[in-house]
Chains A and B, each alone.
Chain A
Amino acid sequence: MIKIENILKSFGDSIILKKISTIFEKGKTNLIIGQSGSGKTVLIKCILGLIKIDQGKIQFEKSFLYSMGQKERAKLRQDIGMVFQGSALFDSMTVEENVIFPMKMFTNKPKDEIVERANIAIRRVNLINSNNKLPSELSGGMKKRVAIARAIVMNPKYLFCDEPNSGLDPKTSIIIDNLIQEITKEYNITTVINSHDMNSVMEIGEKIVFLENGSKKWEGTNKEIFKTENQSVTKFVYSSELYKKIRKVYLNEQDNN
């Protein structure tokens, strides 16, 4: 569980996050959605401690991020897996070396065991015959899979994904979404996904936090988002005719039942 309370962050005169509070639950895929520039990435980076907040509290289980000592924070970091928007794979390393990297850096396990665990993670993301390939030889979807494998190889308690579907075709996007959701359930981790992909919202949004201009305007589940009358959410989520129709069909079905 990750609890954030009254997060305030500004850059110069512009306030990017305006007192945001929410709870990201364990074993669930928590989505942060909103338009580009609404503060989603800044919020994730604040939770990760990559950007220092001006005010507020960030709590991982019972520990507060800004009250932790260096050792405690270093330990927490090893419990965090992150999938970046552009995958952020190390260019000079092969797929296997990328996945091995966190284990090599933070554990003293024998080489065989490290390679075995890396291969389990690589197989888990359904990446076959790619161990010796460099990131430049991989497609966008494959890179995302490697990034997920690298993020889960240390058995993290928290998984963060910054727009995991950006640049992917709809079919691959669904595969990646489902993979993240399966992993969340399988490892019972707290997953926080930053997205503006409506398919992800409908498919895997077990908890959705909607941001607009740095403020939290709504939160709920993917079932509740169909029923909400919140103008900001409906304007954003049902901006296309297709999604308006989907909503109509869903609500009609609910009425008939």
Chain B
Amino acid sequence: MKLFLHLGRYFLMIQKTFGKFTKWKMLKNLIFREIDDLIISSIGIVSFLSFFVGGVVAIQTAINIDNPLLPTYLIGFTTRQSMILEFSPTFISVIMAGKVGSYITSSIGTMRVTEQIDALEVMGVNTYNYLIFPKIIALTLFPFLITISMALGIFGGYIASINGGFASHSDFIEGLQLDFIPFHIFYAFIKTFIFAILLATIPSYHGYFMKGGALGVGKASTTSFIWTSVAIIIANSLITNLLLT
């Protein structure tokens, strides 16, 4: 029963987010600030993770294809497929549920605890729109972050392959170009976009409706991470079933 209560409240929250709009002049500044806080500040960690995971995928593929009959260009092929289809869109999103999600929950939750949300409501501000809408818009740029992740992951794989002597430059490039299906990129961006919406709204929900004091903020951040990850994994399964099978 509680799940239905949360689901109902979550969808009502989304509806109200697109209700009475905040003045564009103020909204514009909020959107830019959220882009900075949620997207720009995540470039570093996403780049770092993607580069090294790409490298590890390449090395592990190389180690597992020790049969001389298997061509080394498979290293490039596997790295590309792993990064584009799964690691960049899904796992970077799960990682972002920790970074961006807990930031969103704790910032809105702190505003709730310190009565800043009440203050906005007393003034007549649509707090849903003021607090959540800029985050949704900022996170529509999430595919940009995922593009960087894909590119750096593949580059990491390339560097690891060449430096470790697992594949030559031409073999790796051949693997990258092998059986390339442009729809896979489209699929990756579709799911990234849906994950971005989940990343913006689920942590906002947990922050907005949190109860308790400072301890409550910590608890809400943890719960928000768990539910955002669960929602991303479920959505991933559904989208993959719908688009790839």
Chain A residues in contact with chain B, CB under 8 A? Answer: 45, 48, 50, 70, 73-74, 77-78, 80, 82, 84-86, 88-91, 101-102, 104-106, 160
Contacts and interface: CB of A to CB of B under 8 A. Distances in A.
B15 interface: no
Contacts of A50: 118, 121-122
A193 B124 CA distance: 20
B238 interface: no
A82 B124 contact: no
B115 A86 contact: yes
Contact of B122 (A48, A85, A89, A101): A48
A105 B119 CA distance: 13
A101 B122 CA distance: 13
Contact of B118 (A74, A88, A101): A88
A49 to B, nearest CB: 8
B215 interface: no
A106 B124 contact: yes
B27 to A, nearest CB: 10
B26 interface: yes
A77 B114 contact: no
24 contacts: A48-B122, A50-B118, A50-B121, A73-B124, A77-B122, A77-B123, A78-B123, A80-B122, A82-B118, A82-B122, A84-B115, A84-B119, A85-B115, A88-B114, A90-B119, A91-B110, A91-B116, A101-B123, A104-B25, A104-B26, A105-B23, A105-B26, A105-B123, A106-B123
Given A104-B26, A105-B22, A84 B118 contact: yes
A105 B24 CA distance: 10
A102 B115 contact: no
A82 B123 CA distance: 8
A77 B118 CA distance: 12
Nearest to A48: B122
B44 to A, nearest CB: 22
A106 B115 CA distance: 20
Contacts of A91: 110, 114, 116
Which residue among B26, B114, B118, B119 has the maximum number of chain A CB atoms within 10 Å of its CB? B119
Contacts of B25: 104
A70 B19 CA distance: 12
Given A77-B122, A82-B119, A105-B22, 16 more contacts: A50-B118, A73-B124, A74-B20, A77-B124, A78-B123, A78-B124, A82-B118, A82-B122, A84-B115, A85-B115, A86-B114, A90-B119, A91-B110, A91-B116, A106-B123, A106-B124
Nearest to B23: A105
Which residue among B22, B26, B114 has the maximum number of chain A CB atoms within 10 Å of its CB? B114
